[in-house]
């Protein structure tokens, strides 16, 4: 059995008295695209720095391909590519030179082949490699790092908010490339807060808060744990629904004539009973929406009063 590309268990890391990571679990299996979600300051970037061996963990394990992220950093870096969220490039190098410098230490089979792939990537990201890095906009610096990463074609990609600064067209190009490497069996760790992007490409999602994993699994699994939004037009009095187990946030508004519109959310485990109750109310219309990732995310951060806690980590962990 080969080891997982990323295996993090009970990872802890403090900066002074601030706990940036406090019991983090994260696994990326071969050929899997793992979404890594959390608000600013939740510890995503710290986790990635620990994975890259730039920062040392206090306790727990952080392994890449079975090797220790800190001790075996150099050897492990041969098998991965990294794109930071805010790419800073060497000002007096051109974009093309920076790409070459970043990719040169990886095994490259055939130089002509590599040149062709570089040209194709530059083309698809619409990047001019002859400009000095200091003249690039943020989006263009991001493209330099992305082209370098896809050119390496490693076993594992680590992306830390890779599309920040990219326009929607380029985001789509990025998504295409991620799909392509997934089809080629590569593993991807994608830290992001663009939820639609994660929803589109990721197989699994890990949500963290205050340096701790609060939710992880496939999107389907996560959805199962949460609620479905139901909106129905009924003729009879909907009060009977309100008392049912697993029903939340009921609002009723008068629609046309004797029809009442009722909105509610229901725990997925109870949905059968609720639908049965609804059907007795002379239903005229019904929509049921599974929770979007955004709702999942908001549920963990939005209403919860303890969600304010991670704020003080923000400044330090950044």
**Cα dihedral sign for 96, 101, 107, 109?**
positive
Strand partners, 68: 63
Of the residues 36, 65, 82, 301, which one makes contact with another protein according to CB under 8 A:
82
111-124 and 168-183 helices, crossing angle to 10°: 140
Q: Based on CB atoms, which residue is closest to another protein, 18 or 225? A: 18
Structure tokens at 71: 């001790």
Write down the residue that tokens 């939820």 correspond to. 195
Q: Are 215 and 206 in contact (CB under 8 A)?
A: yes
Stretch that binds another protein, among 131-139, 168-176, 207-215, 221-229 (CB under 8 A): 131-139
Residues 160-199 that bind another protein (CB under 8 A): none
Of the residues 28, 33, 145, 262, which one makes contact with another protein according to CB under 8 A:
145
Structure tokens at 272: 């059968």
- Measured distance CA(187)–CA(250) in Å, rounded: 42
Q: Are 14 and 287 in contact (CB under 8 A)?
A: no
- CB of residue 1 vs another protein: minimum separation in angstroms? 25
Stretch that binds another protein, among 80-88, 194-202, 253-261, 285-293 (CB under 8 A): 80-88
- Measured distance CA(183)–CA(38) in Å, rounded: 26
Residues 90-109 that bind another protein (CB under 8 A): 90, 92-94, 96-102, 104-106
Of the residues 18, 73, 219, 225, which one makes contact with another protein according to CB under 8 A:
73
Total residues contacting another protein by CB under 8 A comes to 43
Stretch that binds another protein, among 88-96, 175-183, 185-193, 304-312 (CB under 8 A): 88-96
For residue 283, the surrounding DSSP H or E stretch is strand 283-289
Is residue 87 involved in binding another protein (CB under 8 A)?
yes
Q: Are 213 and 35 in contact (CB under 8 A)?
A: no
- Measured distance CA(23)–CA(41) in Å, rounded: 15
The SS3 of residue 25 is strand
Residues 273-312 that bind another protein (CB under 8 A): none
- Measured distance CA(132)–CA(142) in Å, rounded: 14
Of the residues 135, 179, 218, 312, which one makes contact with another protein according to CB under 8 A:
135
Q: Are 49 and 11 in contact (CB under 8 A)?
A: no
Q: Based on CB atoms, which residue is closest to another protein, 145 or 232? A: 145
Q: Based on CB atoms, which residue is closest to another protein, 39 or 96? A: 96
Q: Based on CB atoms, which residue is closest to another protein, 83 or 278? A: 83
Phi then psi for residue 225, to 5 deg, are: -75, -10
Stretch that binds another protein, among 50-58, 170-178, 180-188, 231-239 (CB under 8 A): 50-58
Q: Are 267 and 227 in contact (CB under 8 A)?
A: yes
Stretch that binds another protein, among 77-85, 206-214, 258-266, 270-278 (CB under 8 A): 77-85
* Positions that interact with another protein (CB under 8 A): 49, 52-56, 73-75, 77-78, 80-82, 84, 86-90, 92-94, 96-102, 104-106, 115, 118, 128-132, 134-135, 145
């Amino acid at each position: 059995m080969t080891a997982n590309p990323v295996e993090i268990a009970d990872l802890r890391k403090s900066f002074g008295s601030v706990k940036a990571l406090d019991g983090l679990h994260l696994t990326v299996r071969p050929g899997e695209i793992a979404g890594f979600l959390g608000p600013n300051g939740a510890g995503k970037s710290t986790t990635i720095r620990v994975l890259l061996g730039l920062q040392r963990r206090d306790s727990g394990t952080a392994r890449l391909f079975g090797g220790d992220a800190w001790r075996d950093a150099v050897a492990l870096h041969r098998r991965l590519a990294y794109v930071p969220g805010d790419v800073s490039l060497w000002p007096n190098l051109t974009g093309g030179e920076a790409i070459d410098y970043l990719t040169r230490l990886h095994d490259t089979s055939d130089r002509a082949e590599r040149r062709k792939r570089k040209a194709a990537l530059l083309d698809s990201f619409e990047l001019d490699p002859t400009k000095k890095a200091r003249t690039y906009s943020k989006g263009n610096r991001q493209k330099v790092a992305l082209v370098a990463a896809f050119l390496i074609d490693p076993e594992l990609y680590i992306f830390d908010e890779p599309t920040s600064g990219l326009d929607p067209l380029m985001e789509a190009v990025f998504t295409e490339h991620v799909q392509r490497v997934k089809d080629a069996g590569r593993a991807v760790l994608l830290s992001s807060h663009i939820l639609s992007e994660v929803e589109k490409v990721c197989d699994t999602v890990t949500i963290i808060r205050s340096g701790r994993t609060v939710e992880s699994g496939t999107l389907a699994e996560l959805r199962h744990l949460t609620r479905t939004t139901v909106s129905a037009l009924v003729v009879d009095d909907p009060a009977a629904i309100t008392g049912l187990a697993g029903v939340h946030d009921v609002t009723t508004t008068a629609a046309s004539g004797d029809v009442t519109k009722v909105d509610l959310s229901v725990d997925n485990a109870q949905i059968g009973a609720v639908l049965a109750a609804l059907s007795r109310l002379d239903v005229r219309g019904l929509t049921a929406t599974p929770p979007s990732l955004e709702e999942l995310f908001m549920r963990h951060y939005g209403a919860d009063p303890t969600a304010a806690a991670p704020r003080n980590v923000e400044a330090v962990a950044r």
